[in-house]
Amino acid sequence: MRIIRNTAGLVLASAVLAAPASSAQEPSDTARLEPVVVTATRLPTPLAAVTASVTVLDGATLRARGIRGVSEALRDVPGLSVVQQGSYGGLTSVFVRGGESDYVKVLIDGAPANQPGGAFDFATLSTDNVERIEIVRGPASVLYGSDAVSGVVQIFTHGGSGSPAADAQVRGGTYGSFDVYAALRGGTGKLSYSAAVARAGTDGIHQFNSDADQLVLSGLVQLDPDERTDARLAVRYSDNEFHFPTDGSGQVVDRNAFQQRDRFTASLDGGRFLGSAVEARVLLAYNRDDGGIDDRPDDPADSLGFFGFVSEALVQRASADARVNLYSVPATVLTVGGQYEHESEDGTSESLSEFGSSVSEFAATRNNVGFYGQAQATPVRGLALTLGGRLDDNQQFGTFFTYRAGVTYGLGRGTSVRGAVGSAFKEPTFFENFADNPFARGNPNLSPERTSTWEVGLEQLLWRERLTLGVTYFDQRFRDLIQYTAMPPAPDEPNYFNVAAADASGLELEARLAPAAGLTVGGSYTYLHTEIVDAGFDAGGGSFQAGQRLLRRPTHSVNLDAAWRFAGRAYTALAVRYVGDRDDRDFTAFPAATVVLPAYWRLDLAGEVDLLRHAGGRRALTATLRVENLLDEQYQEVFGFAAPGRRVLVGGRVRF
């Protein structure tokens, strides 16, 4: 059995790389290179043999389009809704197929980056030194445990190869925006490396106290001492500072409020084939998130009511995952693994008011042990099967079982069908479990929020694989959602309970056309129906209203794009995005009134051209341009918070 290796340093027996018949046709002069994905199964698998809905975003393409924020890249993925609260650096959430914003598992080279309980601010995540982004739509708790309820987003750091090579870029533009980037990569047959540093900033869209700044350091070392062994160490550090003049309703009133956050993520992934049919792998991961909000009095006259707030919290997640892949059955891989994770949070907060200062402290820890198994099989040509299950034993909520099953089958003539069913869960936040202050008391007996889902899909290749058409229908049920009540059943009872429920279903249509060399045209349409089944404690006026849509998730959304690389020296790309109307709430009054955010169109343009280029393309000087919101559309993604207008970024990149 031959052992092959992919760019992530993972290994797989070649027998399981058999793809469905729809992608196993005789190659033509325009046949596409079938991508290999890892996130959906934790094994390098051809995209055509994956039973889940997966999108792969290429890092080099994102940089050619001038896209620096991961959240901007995710806007083009069907089924995903991205919501940024106002100016650059504002809280940025991603909703996958109608799920809550804390239902998306975020992995950086395998290391979980979410807060305990699933929250993640995508404003802090950039594409710097990213090789690719894999997005799985659908439940994935079988492999990743908590938080992977409606999807997984995994970032892979860029590797290196060959003699040392470097590139650097600088850009500047409207809103006082700038970013600089430099990277070095290289390697031999056994050792490869990459290292990068990036800095970006902007004055923001408001007249004062609206600047945002970010520093990103990243690196990767890959060791392949022999054909059977590999190890990969990846680290990423980001330091973010965001100043915001807006209050909770979006009014521009504060001259000194800011938020600071730094995150360090590290992962060590290693494996070895113990024989021709047994592979052992270990993943050690660590994530450290340290930050808080500083909103002191603006001036001496600011001394009435609650006029100041300062907070800081240190959150850490450390995990060890060990698994064995067995290749004993032809065209089948059996995976058995276990995971241990330790979570902790230590924080302080101070509230300043005319009644004096109030200081509170918070400290909590939680452990989880999970055991999982998965079988991948291609019993006959064109048929791929996946079946998995997982049992988690959590220190707080006890045991919880999840499952996933999927099938894809090539019908011939470029047609393949796919179906999947599964379940997933999200653990309570630390505050929901452990809060203990005059306004909130945590509930240590909360159950995890859970989902059950199914989907079916069809893909068709036409015109000698130049044209790809796809359609997917999905249906999800979210249950045991946790809510807060200010009036618990009894004075000594907690404020958090599993009470709410919601449904989400929809349709994703995709098309991709490559009519000529260097030219690609594509698009997607997403129809999303969400309904709140049980409003829980919000029935009297809150985020959940029975029978209404879930907030900030459009029913209709469209993405269109076209890219052309010509003469081997220039590239241009155009993206058009339509986001339909969304429900939101006006929380300035009680009960909060329902408002509808109007639909909007947004047009982005990007291009680059090589001004100087050495033979072979190893050395080049390139001019770059990106225009965001070209038509200066005025819209809101969160009620009361204006979105950025037109932004023009001009720069240059050197490669040597």
pLDDT digits (tens, 9 = 90+) for 91-143: 999 999 999 999 999 999 999 999 999 999 999 999 999 999 999 999 999 99
Which phi-psi region, left, alpha or beta, contains residue 125 (left: φ > 0; alpha: ψ -120 to 50)? beta
Query: Rounded to 5 degrees, what are φ and ψ at 392?
Result: -105, 140
- Contacts of residue 496, Cβ cutoff 8 Å, sequence gap at least 6: 428, 432, 435, 440, 442, 443, 446, 482, 483, 484, 485
Q: What is the pLDDT of residue 491?
A: 86
* pLDDT of 32 higher than 70: no
Task: Place 75 in a pLDDT band, splitting at 50, 70 and 90.
Answer: very high
For the chain, what is the largest distance between any 2 Cα atoms, rounded to a whole number of angstroms?
78
Q: Residue 23: pLDDT above 50?
A: no
User: Given CA atoms 556, 80, 450, 592 in this order, what sign does their dihedral have?
Assistant: negative
Distance CA 653, CA 166 (A): 11
- Residue 278's pLDDT band (cuts 50, 70, 90): very high
Q: Give pLDDT, residue 212.
A: 98
Question: Cα dihedral sign for 81, 85, 88, 89?
Answer: negative
pTM, full prediction: 0.94
Can you tell me whether residue 58 is helix, strand or coil? strand
| Section 303-331 average pLDDT | 90
Q: CA-CA-CA-CA torsion for 538, 544, 546, 552, nearest 10 degrees?
A: 160
DSSP string, 270-299: EEEESSSSEEEEEEEEEEEEEEEEEE--SS
In the DSSP assignment, the letter for residue 439 is T
Check whether 17 has a pLDDT greater than 60: no
- Contact assessment for residue 441 and residue 401, using Cβ atoms and an 8 Å cutoff: no
Residues 490-533 pLDDT 10s: 888 999 999 999 999 999 999 999 999 999 999 999 999 999 99
Give the contacts of 209 (CB within 8 A, at least 6 positions apart). Answer: 243, 244, 245, 254, 255, 256, 257, 258
Mean pLDDT taken over the chain? 92
Residue 350 has pLDDT above 90, yes or no: yes
380 DSSP β-pair partners: none
pLDDT of residue 533: 97
**Where is average pLDDT lowest: 87-91, 109-113, 357-361?**
357-361
Higher pLDDT, 655 or 17: 655
Is residue 542 very low, low, confident or very high in pLDDT (cuts 50, 70, 90)?
confident
Contact 603, 630 (CB under 8 A): yes
Residue 517 burial (CB count, 10 A): 9
| pLDDT of res. 48 | 87
Task: List strand residue ranges (DSSP E) for 327-435, in order.
Answer: 332-353, 356-377, 383-394, 398-412, 415-426
Asked if residue 223 has pLDDT above 70, the reply is: yes
Task: Tell me the C-alpha distance between 484 and 9, whole Å.
Answer: 45
Query: Once rounded to an integer, what is the mean pLDDT over residues 557-561?
Result: 98
The owner of tokens 């000594």 is 492
Of the ranges 27-41, 361-375, 377-391, 466-480, which one carries the lowest mean pLDDT score?
Answer: 27-41
pLDDT tens by residue, 451-498 = 999 999 999 999 999 999 999 999 999 999 999 999 998 888 999 999
pLDDT value at 30 more than 50? no
Tell me what the mean pLDDT of segment 406-430 comes to. Answer: 97
- Give percent of the chain above pLDDT 90: 85
- CA–CA distance from 375 to each of 17, 38, 42, 150, 418 (Å)? 14, 15, 11, 21, 17
Helix/strand/coil for 242: strand
pLDDT of 656 above 50: yes
Over residues 319-346, the mean pLDDT reads 95
> Residue range 27-56: average pLDDT?
80
Number of H helices and number of E strands within the chain? 4, 39
For CA atoms 94, 98, 101, 105, give the dihedral sign.
negative
Interior CA angle at 181 toward 178 and 184, to 5°? 175
Bridge partners of 196? 183, 218
What pLDDT score was predicted for residue 628? 98
Instruction: Please tell me the predicted confidence (pLDDT) of residue 357.
Output: 87
Residue 33 banded pLDDT, cuts 50, 70, 90? low
Strand 415-426 vs strand 398-412: parallel, antiparallel, or unpaired?
Answer: antiparallel
Does the structure show a pLDDT above 90 at 18? no
pLDDT: which is higher, 304 or 59: 59
Count of alpha carbons within 13 angstroms of residue 449, beta-carbon side:
29
Average pLDDT over residues 149-175: 96
Tell me the Ramachandran region of residue 280: left when phi exceeds 0, alpha when psi lies from -120 to 50, beta otherwise: beta
- The CA angle 95-97-99, to the nearest 5 degrees, is 55
Mean pLDDT over residues 67-82, rounded? 98
Degrees (nearest 5) of the Cα angle 241, 246, 251?
Answer: 165
Q: What share of the chain in percent tops pLDDT 70?
A: 94
